[in-house]
Amino acid sequence: MLKIYNTLSGKKEVFKPIVEGKVGMYVCGNTVYDFCHIGHARAMISFDIISRFIRHLGYDLNYVRNITDVDDKIIKRAQENNETTQSLTERMIAAQQEDELKLGNKMPDREPKATEFMQEIITMIQTLVEKGFAYQGASGDVYYRATAFAEYGKLNNRKLDEMLAGARIDVEASKEHPADFVLWKQAKSGEVSWESPWGAGRPGWHIECSAMSTNCLGSHFDIHGGGPDLKFPHHENEIAQSEAATGKEYVNYWMHCGAVRVNNEKMSKSLGNFFTVRDVLAKFNPEVVRYLMVSSQYRSAIDYSDQSLHEAKVALERLYTALRGQTLVSSYEATDFTVRFEAAMKDDFNTAVAVSVLFELVRELNKAKAEAPEKAAALATELKSLAELLGLLYQDPEYFLQNSTIVEGLSEEAIQALIDERTQARKDKNFARSDEIRDELDSKGIELLDSREGTTWTRN
């Protein structure tokens, strides 16, 4: 029985899909004006794991994640770069997909772009205007009338006036109320625009997701997800727009992943603690980054630091060491480890507990290696199978253990050449040279592991 924490109700609920056996899930994607940062990685990995497990339970999942490819930030960055918005967004979309694949994610079933749904966006705004939920202000922009939606604030469990207190909301003369938000913006000179009943312009951010989600999944669907900063105003506004336009309940389960903090501080460019995925992958194996994200339950905040990544690397190396040189089998009988792993995942996708089960399995596997090879092979296969649901342990163990940290220094070829020289030195009983090579490699962070089968290495 799958339970999901629903932001709307503020509690865990038993998951019941609208259509038996089928699940529609929409996740707010990125505004593609720059490279993805580690906060984006948290959301992308969280919902990748959620999608994997929903499918594992046998549901036919339709996973949709949008791309915002028209926005103030995009226009500003394109102007700064002296390029078109299309050129900028195409580059950033390609970069995002490259980052995601490196992090071990599977792509969503569909990634709609806002610019592909312009007519649907305009149609939804027209419906809101006709129903009295939207109006064109003196500036020419079209606004949503927040006071017309009686349930505005239900996602955040706050009333309209409470949400306004202390909030940074633009107060424009053409607005009827400070909480009203823009649905359609009049184009400025030189900006990308589309024709509409209210003049040439482009949509506001919130309406894009309402139009894309309802057109891809229907006016009422199962799950809507996103980052922690989207609860207000973005998702609150999505509910108001969508339910006012369709007259139906919008989403049954709202899911929000936790924030990423850097050394216990909010990640911010102004604080100098802002890291893109590419910054991080220049230093660490992508699976180490993924493990850091997976080791906490998706709603928990994560503290990012070099130390936390080092700890993630050490933990992941323990899992891979258990698989090193281990035979696998084509089929196995699931043990209590699988039962407990699945129970953790059914409890609001609690990956932290699921990972702890993997380490218990590793202890059992290591004990079985010497005494019961057949049992060890079955346990190793079970470990690989369960880890796959988290997107882990997909690399060759030997390769991972040699590349878990990306550092400046010796290439793999140079390391192997020194190992071969050391092997020959030992055969020649030149132990002084053998020790010199070991010490040289150790000083560069390379640890040698001698066994009957030969010498292997890992980065220390």
Angle ∠(187,190,193) on CA atoms, nearest 5: 40
Asked if 55 and 13 count as a contact pair (C-beta separation under 8 A), the reply is: no
The total domain count for the chain is 3
Residues 157 and 84 in one domain: yes
Per-residue pLDDT, averaged over 184-202, amounts to 95
Per-residue pLDDT, averaged over 258-273, amounts to 80
Boundary of a domain, candidates 401, 422, 450: 401
The secondary structure of residue 460, as a DSSP letter, is -
Helix (H, G, I), strand (E, B) or coil at 26: strand
Per-residue pLDDT, averaged over 138-146, amounts to 97
Angle ∠(225,231,236) on CA atoms, nearest 5: 100
Question: Is 256 annotated among the ligand-binding residues?
Answer: no
Residues 426 and 397 in one domain: no
pLDDT of residue 166: 52
| Consecutive H or E run containing 215 | helix 205-217
The residues near 290 (Cβ < 8 Å, ≥ 6 apart) are: 45, 103, 104, 391, 392
Rounded-to-integer distance, Cα 66 and Cα 276, Å? 20
pLDDT of residue 411: 66
Residues 198 and 242 in one domain: yes
Task: Reply yes or no on whether the pLDDT at 169 is more than 60.
Answer: no
Residues facing residue 372 across a β-bridge:
none
Domain range enclosing 9: 3-260
pLDDT of residue 210: 98
Residues 64 and 201 in one domain: yes
Angle ∠(316,100,26) on CA atoms, nearest 5: 115
Parallel, antiparallel or unpaired: strands 446-451 and 260-262:
unpaired
Angle ∠(89,94,96) on CA atoms, nearest 5: 90
| Domain-located, residue 426 | yes
Please report, for the domain that includes residue 218, its CATH number.
Answer: 3.40.50.620
Question: Is 269 annotated among the ligand-binding residues?
Answer: yes
Task: Reply yes or no on whether the pLDDT at 164 is more than 90.
Answer: no
Find the length of the chain: 460
Task: Reply yes or no on whether the pLDDT at 261 is more than 70.
Answer: yes
HEC profile of 122-133 = HHHHHHHHHCCC
| Domain-located, residue 287 | no
Q: Kindly report, residue by residue over 350-384, the tens digit of the pLDDT.
A: 999 999 999 999 999 999 999 999 999 999 999 99
pLDDT band of 345, cuts 50, 70, 90: very high
Residues 67 and 91 in one domain: yes
pLDDT band of 436, cuts 50, 70, 90: confident
Please report, for the domain that includes residue 332, its CATH number.
Answer: 1.20.120.640
Task: Reply yes or no on whether the pLDDT at 138 is more than 80.
Answer: yes
- Percent share of the chain, pLDDT over 90: 78
Question: Is 83 annotated among the ligand-binding residues?
Answer: no
Q: What's the mean per-residue pLDDT of the chain? A: 93
As a dihedral over the C-alpha atoms of residue 261, residue 294, residue 15, residue 208, rounded to 10 degrees, the angle is 50
pLDDT band of 269, cuts 50, 70, 90: low
Residues 206 and 252 in one domain: yes
| Domain-located, residue 276 | no
| Domain-located, residue 275 | no
Residues 66 and 201 in one domain: yes
